[in-house]
Structures are given as structure tokens and as C-alpha cells.
Amino acid sequence: MSHVLSEQHRAPKLRNLNKPIYSFGRLLPGLVLTGSITSLVLWLSHFEFLISLGMSALTLAIVVGMIIGNTVYPLARPQCAEGVNLAKQKLLRLGIVLYGFKLTFTQIADVGASGIVIDLLTLGSTFFLACWLGKRVFGLDSETSMLIGAGSSICGAAAVMATEPVLKADAEKVTVAVATVVIFGTIAIFFYPWLWQLNQHYHLLEITATRFGIYTGSTLHEVAQVVAAGHGVSPDAENAAVIAKMIRVMMLAPFLLMLSFWKSRGQAHAGGSAQSKSLWSSITIPWFALWFIGVAAFNSFGLLPASWVHSLLTLDTILLAMAMAALGLTTHFSALRLAGMKPLLLAGLLFAWLIVGGAGINLLVQHLL
């Protein structure tokens, strides 16, 4: 072991020079796999039968990814994991940034102050409900309850991972929280379009596609899941859902700040400046959400030719489909067993609250504002 370490110290420059080539070789199999799934689903998405079922390319990418992920993918995981994770994280964020070319500030203004208030109320009520239910009803520790609450109330697995350094939670608790988010968020991808069709058929509520999109973006867990669910309803719903979700994602930074201050309130004089430094270093700013707003602002001026925008949106669809495929590949049915009953019950109740309570919040705020 010491020999290996000494070799690493003796040749740092050589290792750094080779790292990009090595990394690309490690990324390529996973990118080829997600790209192949994307090519397949883009072809399948043109079939009238699948269109009639509301199966968009993004939804199909998740379904095909889940089928492969729970059958043959485990054999290829050692070779494909890095590329798949890149698609699930980096390509998703790049796809969301490019999604800004579908929008203008006029559309963002349509979401308006009501969208911000809805997101704030949904986030706050869901997180505090998670803390109360987790400790008082299910007897879970505060870290597990907060991690599940953060994932359900803000932006899924990304919020769980961003909250982990603030709470200094164990890896097992993080894994359980992520599993619950993936399970119920995946269910929601198919449930929300069905809920829209149900309302359209029975006329239970007078609600436009744009308002349903705001409801979707303010209550669904992951950014990828919001895109897929909104895409399964209509373009107007998808646009509003992404805008509402991006507003919610941008609330992650102030949420982490407040959580950090709350966690450190009893240790304010113990760590001095060192503690203050570690507190600030634990904050994760979702820069991709800010870039998304910037791209939408740029697009509002109409400076790019229509052909360029069309090409960028085609690239955006490919990137998002690859991200959905990666999400499906890493969604394992074994996560149900891993999560355990109590965390699943907590996440299930939060999911029910997001659907029912979130609908109530949306209707109330939109009525008042």
C-alpha cells in the first residue's frame, strides 16, 4: 500500500495528464448505453399507439431504462456506471439549462408571484410535516426524517445529497432517503398525467394546463420527473412545470442556510471562525437553475435564428432523454427492500400530502392571487 502511495506522489503530473483520457474511456460505455436507449425511444415515440397512451420519449426512456436496469444492466454496471451517472446528473442539468430556449420571460411572468408563494408553502409544509411525522409517529431519528423531508419538499435526490453535509448524516440514511424519493417520484411520473386525464374527463376542477403544470412543478420530487410528467400532459403544462420547479430548486440554497444555522445554534461559540467556515462550505448553490433563468432571459430577446433554436431544442430533447434513461437504469426494485417500512410509510404520507395538500395550496393561492 505504501509503495502504491509513494508511486502516486512521485508521478502526479503524469497521472493528471492521463486522467482526462482515462475518464473518457470510463464514461464512454455508459454514454453509449444511454444514447442507444435514447435512439430507441425517440423512434418508438412516433408510434400512434404509444402517443395515445401519453407515452412521450422521456417517459419511454425511463420505462426502458428501468426494464434494462432491473434485468441485464447489473452485469454491465462496472463498465457503465460512470457514464450513466454523468448522464443522470450533468447531462440532466445541461438539458435543463438548454430548456430555457423553450421559454421567455413572458411565460415565466405568467407563473408570477403565485408560483413563488405556492413553492414556499409547499416546501415549508412538507418539510415540517416530515420532521413531525418522522419523530412523533414513526419514531425515526431526526436525520432520516429531515433527509426524506428535504428530498420530498425540494428537489429529490439532489436535495438529499446537498442536505447530507449539513446534517453530517450516515451514508445508510442518505441511501434510504434517496430510495424513497426515487420510488414515489417514479410513480408520480405516470400518476400526474393520469390525474390530468381524469380531471379532463370528469371536469372535477376548472384548471388550465398551465396551472396543472405549476401544480406538477411545485409538488413532484425530481427535476427529471417533473419534465417527464409535464411532457406527458402538454407543452404548456411542461413549460409551467419546469418554471415552477426551477423556482423551487433555487430555494435549496436558502433552505440549506437556514438548516445550517439551526443545526449550529447550540454550537455558536464552540467552533469560532473555523465552524463558520465549515458552515458556509456546506452550502450547495444550484447554479444550473440560475443558468436556466439566464438562458430564458436571453431567449426573450429573440437574438438567435429560429433554425439555431430548433437545433438547440433537438439537442435538449436528446440530453433529457439520456438523463431519463440513466434515471431508469439506476432505479432498482430492490430499493423497496432497502428502504424499510417506516421510511417508506413516511415518504408515502408525504407523497399523499404533496398530491392532496399541494393541490389545496395551489387552488388557494391561485384563488387569492
pLDDT in tens, 94-130: 987 898 888 787 777 777 789 999 999 999 999 999 9
**pLDDT, mean of residues 270-280:** 53
What pLDDT score was predicted for residue 53? Answer: 59
* Residue that wins the pLDDT comparison between 54 and 61: 61
* Residue that wins the pLDDT comparison between 199 and 156: 199
| Region of 272 on the Ramachandran plot (φ > 0 left; ψ -120 to 50 alpha; else beta) | left
What pLDDT score was predicted for residue 4? Answer: 39
What pLDDT score was predicted for residue 107? Answer: 74
Quickly state the pLDDT bin for 16 (edges 50, 70, 90): very low
**pLDDT, mean of residues 4-25:** 47
* Residue that wins the pLDDT comparison between 198 and 17: 198
**pLDDT, mean of residues 217-235:** 89
Q: How far apart are CA 171 and CA 175, in angstroms?
A: 6
Query: What is the DSSP code (8-state) at residue 301?
Result: T
Domain ranges of the chain: 19-368
Q: How far apart are CA 212 and CA 143, in angstroms?
A: 33
pLDDT of 296-319, one tens digit each? 889 889 899 999 999 999 999 899
Q: How many CB atoms lie within 10 A of CB 65?
A: 30
